A and B are shown apart, each in its own frame.
Chain A
């Protein structure tokens, strides 16, 4: 049994053993959640950001986001323009004349649920942690709102909640996951550009996606053990 488990585990985790993807699942049972985002199929509708705010009671102001969409525009002169008006919630208008565009695409951003997360390491009170199933969470009752984790996250995925006065972030809709439902952003994604799943399960949608695509993580040199895998990630994206 254990041997079979190890075999399955190693076959699933082999692609992650590359130095860039140092996120081996711990040798426990149960799911180990990961996320995949396909930049080549994101149509920039912003439904994910909108649904996230509804589902998780995120403040409406345009600087509080658990997930958002960025529009990258590489101009002919090499300049890279990154825009995210209201996180993409109201949709995108193209601001550059088409003749000047070299290439352009949308990049959805959210918490990477790192397995060696910098944000949970700096918490002075043990209020933020990686759950046994690989989701980075915040204990609202324990958080003192010092904001250390906000500045430690290299992906800018945390903010201080203006009313609760605690750090807030993507929970991968933990309350939905536990009930067997998809996170709100994944549920409403019309082009299936966002995929979540159990990285330990060889038959899961996400493992299939990782087999079939050339994926990458954001800022691999930071060795955060990010579990958010992008297809179509290019050098301009940070």
Chain B
């Protein structure tokens, strides 16, 4: 074989060798573990901090509310809908670090009359006209026991 071909072949081999070495160091260890991606990224994603608590966490302390709720319209609803996110409160239970949504606007998100809202799923009132002398729904309705003390 002519010398110039040998030199080119040598150069090529060196290049390919260098490429393989560089590639080896650049590709993360877990790449290709499950597929064409970095396997460790599954752990990265699943180790993120949770913001919302779990409903079960609530009832570990508030079993009295759980009993009241059992036969109520709001039974089965997650506490976190009105009290969320709640993670901070679960880790360090204090009065100040839990949400207590109650305003006309907030209740109206589910209960305000709206043409797109299915009637058989949720009770609806017109929050613009329903007992406007009261500012807050919870003045009459206890969210945990809705018809308590009412006729």
Which chain A residues have a beta carbon within 8 Å of chain B's beta carbons?
40-47, 51, 54-56, 71-73, 91-92, 94, 98, 101, 104-106, 126-132, 137, 139-142, 171, 174-179, 181, 184, 187-188, 190-192
Contacts and interface: CB of A to CB of B under 8 A. Distances in A.
Contact of A92 (B38, B44, B114): B114
B50 A181 contact: yes
Contacts of B80: 51, 187-188
A142 B37 contact: yes
B121 A43 contact: yes
Contact of A175 (B34, B50, B81, B118): B50
B6 interface: no
Given A127-B37, A191-B122, 20 more contacts: A41-B121, A43-B110, A46-B109, A55-B50, A55-B52, A55-B85, A91-B108, A94-B115, A94-B116, A104-B115, A105-B118, A131-B34, A137-B42, A139-B45, A176-B52, A181-B52, A184-B51, A187-B78, A190-B78, A190-B122
Interface string B45-79: 11111111011000000000000000000001110
B34 A43 contact: no
B7 interface: no
Nearest to B74: A190
A139 B52 CA distance: 23
A43 B122 contact: yes
Contacts, number: 121
Contact of B81 (A98, A139, A190): A190
B116 A71 contact: yes
A187 B122 contact: no
Contacts of A126: 31, 36-38
B41 A188 contact: no
Given A41-B121, A92-B114, A47 B109 contact: yes
A104 B116 contact: yes
A137 B110 contact: no
B84 A51 contact: yes
Given A43-B122, A188-B81, A175 B115 contact: no
A141 B52 contact: no
B149 interface: no
Contact of A98 (B78, B112, B115): B115
B35 interface: yes
Interface in B15-49: 31, 34-38, 41-42, 44-49
B115 A101 contact: yes
Contacts of A131: 34, 42
Interface string B86-106: 000000000000000000010
B48 A175 contact: yes
Nearest to B49: A175
B114 A137 contact: no
Given A175-B45, A175-B48, A181-B54, A190 B77 contact: yes
